[in-house]
Amino acid sequence: MLIKENRVCAHRTLTHRNIEDWRKHSPADNQGPWAVHCLEHRLRKFVSTYREAKDLASMPASCSFCEAFDQRCVYCPSSREQWSIDAMTGFTPSTGHIMGTAVCSHHKYGTVPEHIDFLEITNVVLNKPVVKVFIGQAFTGTKICAIEYQTGDRKFWLRLQMPSLFMTPVGAADYHRALGFALNVAHALNESLVHPPGDPNFVPTIYEIWEERTSRVAKQRSQS
């Protein structure tokens, strides 16, 4: 094995890889004569051509640990230092994305404003989600609204609950942020009704799990 290029830096994860030439050797399982070797995690990915190896070396996807860190939730705090010590810690893995932005299930409706929280349950009769928005923490905070499905017009609407007759400027600001977040939730839920997950003719602007995206993209390619 010969090192063709040394310490190629990967985008976003800033980890380093070697491009290795295995043409004079027998790579494992005949996976290909070229390899990208992640030096931080000691993983190799074999490919067919040098061009493919060169393109892959700068991408996080050439290493499963780097790819997981690259797809971490953008709204949850993360620590590169902790990840460097233990590649399984220091970040919250995403479960899906919103228009390419990786998010976890708690941030499936986007960023949650400061001092605001929400709780999602399922209406077992309608088989539809019900999202309750709180000022403060769920369960212990003040519930100000719920986003619920209404069978009359088959849409999600906000059911408001005023926390008090009078609000301080700080309380009013929190209430304003909570309502803004609730409107985003209602929009996302209503959009999901119009365009079910996996529709190959629609690029969603809402939360989509990675498996749904993979299926949708595969359908788009098969139709083109």
Tokens of 203: 């690029």
79-135 pLDDT per residue, tens: 999 999 999 999 999 999 999 899 999 999 999 999 999 999 999 999 999 999 999
How far, in Å, CA of 50 to CA of 33, rounded? 9
Could you tell me which of 162, 131, 156 has the C-alpha nearest to residue 144? 162
Q: If you search the block for the tokens 């902790």, which residue do you land on?
A: 82
Enumerate the domain spans of the chain: 2-67, 71-103, 109-194
- Percent of the chain past pLDDT 70, that is, above it, reads 96
Question: What's the confidence (pLDDT) of residue 53?
Answer: 96
Tokens of 181: 């977040």
CB 48 within 8 A of CB 2: no
CB 123 within 8 A of CB 189: no
Write the single-letter amino acid at 13: T
pTM more than 0.75: yes
Q: If you search the block for the tokens 């970040």, which residue do you land on?
A: 91
Question: What's the confidence (pLDDT) of residue 198?
Answer: 65
Q: What is the DSSP-derived secondary structure letter of residue 166?
A: S
